[in-house]
Chains A and B, each alone.
Chain A
Amino acid sequence: MELPAFISPFLIGSSIIVILFPTSRLRGVWLVLTISLGAGVGLGITSSMIFLWLAFIGPPDSYYFAAELTLAVMLALFALYRIHHSGCRTQEDSGLNCEAIPGTIVWLRNIFLFLMLVSVGSFLLKTFLQDPHGIWDAVDTWNYRARWLFRGGPHWSYAFSLRAKDGLDYPLLVTASVFRMWQIFGKDPIAIPILVAGIFTFGSYLILFSSLALLRGRNQGYLAAICLFVSTQFINIGTYQYADVPLAFFILSTVILFGLKDRYPEISSPIVFLAGLTVSCAAWTKNEGQLFLALVIFVYFIGQLGKKEWSKTIKEFIGFTLGLAPVLATLFYFKLNFALENAHINTNTLKQLGAYLVDIDRYILVGTKCIYKLFTFNDGIVWLMAGYFFLSGLERSDLIKKRILSHTILLLLMMCGYFFVYVIYPGNPRDLLSASLRRIIIQLWPTWVFLFFYCVKGPEKNAVIQGTPTRSFKADI
């Protein structure tokens, strides 16, 4: 019943991807990637649009939805036109159908489908029957603010008042997405935040699978997704309706897009544009996404200046900035006009910054807790992965090593950033660590799983890394 509200974001997001990759027809693994990535990107764009409408014009009415639908239909028509005139062959297998495809380990695919089905069941049980309104932060921040935007009428901006002690400047992707769908229905069924949470949770599994299927082969994609299924903490936090899983979705999408850029250098311009869009959506989801945005620019552009041609890097950066601009502009507008001061980093806490930075006890406390949590996360899943690594070994392709280096640096810098946020926390870091460390790990976990399975040996029947930097995009699809 609630799915029609999702048509516009889905059409907008998917059409943008199809337009940017005109040679990829809506088939095969590309279809899975297009649908899952398009769904998230579409929600990012429409949440930004509806917030701007609310802020400048007032509560969205039929004019807004007509405009949004018109945009979606126009983009879809343009995408169909591009597909129709691209006229190239494509990979037929989506990896999710039941036909036996040569090279596919059938039982591995069946286990993947079985686990997907069981996980969907777990998600539905937990959300609809156990915690339909989500857990603490969802009730206190994300869904609470969505309710204010929807029910508040002319007083909707009370959602960003001093009522809350925390989260005064949290960005609005999740909140505005839920509000948008409620506004379409004219009522606020709890199925909507559940649907949004489900899109990002299962979108992450599908993006992980489809990207590795493209980069390393289908079987590696199944295996990586199975590993993420074993990480039940991920789906668990997905059911909480927090913004951590949507952020994990956008971080994963961004890293994957830069991975695809290395694989298909001839279509790097549209890919970096799309990466700009996903990074801005990450920043529009949570404040940690803004740290991610800064680090992406640092690692993928500033860090590449000496290695690549200047002109190429600058050209890519311009494409990236163009993708970044629309949603990031909305974020700036929100931060300047509605968001109150950050509870952790503000003028008062900045005065204490020097003292915290030289407090060795804080480093020991945060470092110990982080290491302990990493090794015990999800009942010690890192040990399972360590076992896999020792049994399988690294893929000894120089290409793989080169390709994962910048992504690994990016994630390590993200972890360093989180580490220092804990160190400079104005209160007792122990409280913040116990409240958030598990969620912080979840934000990066799917991307770590992606990188791990990108660089270890997999169960491919033909254990050959597909593609080289010189291999063409058309040859692969």
Chain B
Amino acid sequence: MHVLKKFPPINHSVFTGDVNLTISYSFKMFRQKFIKLKSYADAQLSNYFPSVRGAVLLIVIPAVFIVPIYFFSILSEIVTGKTHRPVLEYETRLAAIKKDLPANAVVNYVSNSTAPDDLIDAEYVLVPVRIVKGLKPMHDLLIFQNFDTAEIPEFEGYTLKTNYGNGVMLFKRVSD
């Protein structure tokens, strides 16, 4: 309204078709409004913080988006089941055999898994049982983890003690 007082409205009845004059009026009105709006916004911003506002917004605006996006990316991974949690799987797979192993026993461990953390996960889950990878040196018990075949393998010097049915088997050494 303040702007309109400065620039009287164009009388369309006397409009002669001078397009340039109309554009000039419109541009001036727009400019005045813009300047007024900018000064109002400046005053409002200064009310909140007088210094380095551009710099502050440079940090704050990405933060407002990035942190929730990070939250939702984790949520979507969980919901869609993309996450591979080998330790939890091993905890479930080896729960039954763990009860049958004497504490602090030293056992041999064989697995046909190609995962790089297979041994680490098995060791972690089976604490306080000590794991020796492979068949040498031979100990009284042998754990076999079968991930891809249905057949029960044979190990020289060992006989099957318990098949837990989920690919996990416990062998015991044949006495001499």
Question: B-contacting residues of A (Cβ < 8 Å)?
Answer: 105, 107-108, 111, 114-115, 118-119, 121-122, 125-126, 129-133, 136, 139-140, 143-144, 147-148, 151-153, 155, 158, 163, 219, 223, 226-227, 229-230, 232, 235, 384, 387-389, 391-393, 456-461, 463
Residue A384 contacts which of B58, B70, B121, B124 (CB distance < 8 angstroms)?
A: B58
User: Please, which residues of chain A bring their CB within 8 A of the CB of B62?
Assistant: 230, 384
B29 CB-CB contact with A under 8 Å: no
User: Please, which residues of chain B bring their CB within 8 A of the CB of A227?
Assistant: 59, 63
B17 CB-CB contact with A under 8 Å: no
When chains A and B are docked, how far (Å) is the Cα of A231 from the Cα of B89?
31
Taking a contact as CB atoms under 8 Å apart, the answer to whether B71 and A147 are in contact is: no
Report the minimal beta-carbon distance from A130 to chain B, rounded to whole angstroms: 5
Shortest 9 CB-CB contacts between residues of A and residues of B:
A391-B55, A392-B55, A392-B52, A147-B127, A459-B49, A133-B87, A151-B128, A122-B71, A388-B55
Residue A457 contacts which of B52, B66, B128 (CB distance < 8 angstroms)?
A: B52
Residue A230 contacts which of B59, B75, B121, B124 (CB distance < 8 angstroms)?
A: B59
User: Please, which residues of chain B bring their CB within 8 A of the CB of A456?
Assistant: 55
User: Please, which residues of chain A bring their CB within 8 A of the CB of B66?
Assistant: 230, 232
Taking a contact as CB atoms under 8 Å apart, the answer to whether B127 and A148 are in contact is: yes
Residue B67 contacts which of A119, A125, A153, A158 (CB distance < 8 angstroms)?
A: A119
Report the minimal beta-carbon distance from A393 to chain B, rounded to whole angstroms: 8
B10 CB-CB contact with A under 8 Å: no
User: Please, which residues of chain A bring their CB within 8 A of the CB of B52?
Assistant: 391-393, 457-459
Of the candidate stretches B19-27, B77-85, B167-175, the one touching chain A is: B77-85
A/B interface sample: 27 pairs, CB < 8 A: A115-B67, A118-B67, A118-B71, A122-B70, A122-B74, A130-B78, A132-B87, A132-B88, A140-B124, A143-B124, A147-B124, A147-B128, A148-B128, A151-B103, A151-B128, A153-B128, A158-B104, A219-B49, A223-B59, A227-B59, A230-B67, A393-B52, A457-B51, A459-B49, A459-B51, A459-B53, A461-B49
Nearest A residue to B78 by beta-carbon distance?
Answer: A129
Residue B123 contacts which of A163, A223, A387 (CB distance < 8 angstroms)?
A: A163
Report the minimal beta-carbon distance from A238 to chain B, rounded to whole angstroms: 12
User: Please, which residues of chain B bring their CB within 8 A of the CB of A118?
Assistant: 67-68, 71
User: Please, which residues of chain A bring their CB within 8 A of the CB of B56?
Assistant: 108, 223, 388, 392, 458-459
When chains A and B are docked, how far (Å) is the Cα of A158 from the Cα of B127?
10
When chains A and B are docked, how far (Å) is the Cα of A130 from the Cα of B74?
8
Taking a contact as CB atoms under 8 Å apart, the answer to whether A460 and B123 are in contact is: no
Taking a contact as CB atoms under 8 Å apart, the answer to whether A136 and B127 are in contact is: no
Taking a contact as CB atoms under 8 Å apart, the answer to whether A461 and B50 are in contact is: yes
When chains A and B are docked, how far (Å) is the Cα of A125 from the Cα of B79?
11
B140 CB-CB contact with A under 8 Å: no
User: Please, which residues of chain A bring their CB within 8 A of the CB of B77?
Assistant: 130
A130-B78, A139-B121 known; A463 and B55 CB under 8 Å? no
A147-B124, A155-B128 known; A391 and B58 CB under 8 Å? yes
Report the minimal beta-carbon distance from B84 to chain A, rounded to whole angstroms: 10
B48 CB-CB contact with A under 8 Å: yes
User: Please, which residues of chain B bring their CB within 8 A of the CB of A230?
Assistant: 59, 62-63, 66-67
When chains A and B are docked, how far (Å) is the Cα of A126 from the Cα of B78?
9
Residue A130 contacts which of B60, B70, B83 (CB distance < 8 angstroms)?
A: B83
User: Please, which residues of chain B bring their CB within 8 A of the CB of A387?
Assistant: 55, 58
Q: Is the interface of A mostly helix, strand, loop or mixed?
A: helix
Report the minimal beta-carbon distance from A221 to chain B, rounded to whole angstroms: 13
Among the interface residues B50, B56, B68, B121, which one has the most CB atoms of the partner chain A within 10 A? B56
B130 CB-CB contact with A under 8 Å: yes
Report the minimal beta-carbon distance from B82 to chain A, rounded to whole angstroms: 10
Within 8 A of A (CB), among B29-55: 48-55
When chains A and B are docked, how far (Å) is the Cα of A139 from the Cα of B64?
33
Nearest B residue to A378 by beta-carbon distance?
Answer: B66
User: Please, which residues of chain A bring their CB within 8 A of the CB of B58?
Assistant: 384, 387-388, 391
When chains A and B are docked, how far (Å) is the Cα of A151 from the Cα of B120?
17
User: Please, which residues of chain A bring their CB within 8 A of the CB of B51?
Assistant: 392, 457-460, 463
User: Please, which residues of chain B bring their CB within 8 A of the CB of A107?
Assistant: 48
Report the minimal beta-carbon distance from B73 to chain A, rounded to whole angstroms: 9
Nearest B residue to A235 by beta-carbon distance?
Answer: B70
When chains A and B are docked, how far (Å) is the Cα of A129 from the Cα of B59?
30
User: Please, which residues of chain B bring their CB within 8 A of the CB of A111?
Assistant: 60, 63-64
Within 8 A of A (CB), among B76-116: 77-78, 83, 85, 87-88, 103-104
Report the minimal beta-carbon distance from B93 to chain A, rounded to whole angstroms: 14
When chains A and B are docked, how far (Å) is the Cα of A463 from the Cα of B49?
10
When chains A and B are docked, how far (Å) is the Cα of A37 from the Cα of B48?
31
When chains A and B are docked, how far (Å) is the Cα of A152 from the Cα of B123?
13
User: Please, which residues of chain B bring their CB within 8 A of the CB of A115?
Assistant: 63-64, 67
When chains A and B are docked, how far (Å) is the Cα of A152 from the Cα of B85?
25
User: Please, which residues of chain B bring their CB within 8 A of the CB of A119?
Assistant: 67, 71
A147-B124, A391-B55 known; A136 and B71 CB under 8 Å? no
Taking a contact as CB atoms under 8 Å apart, the answer to whether B123 and A144 are in contact is: yes
Taking a contact as CB atoms under 8 Å apart, the answer to whether B63 and A125 are in contact is: no
Taking a contact as CB atoms under 8 Å apart, the answer to whether B70 and A155 are in contact is: no
When chains A and B are docked, how far (Å) is the Cα of A346 from the Cα of B55?
48
When chains A and B are docked, how far (Å) is the Cα of A457 from the Cα of B54?
12
When chains A and B are docked, how far (Å) is the Cα of A387 from the Cα of B52?
12
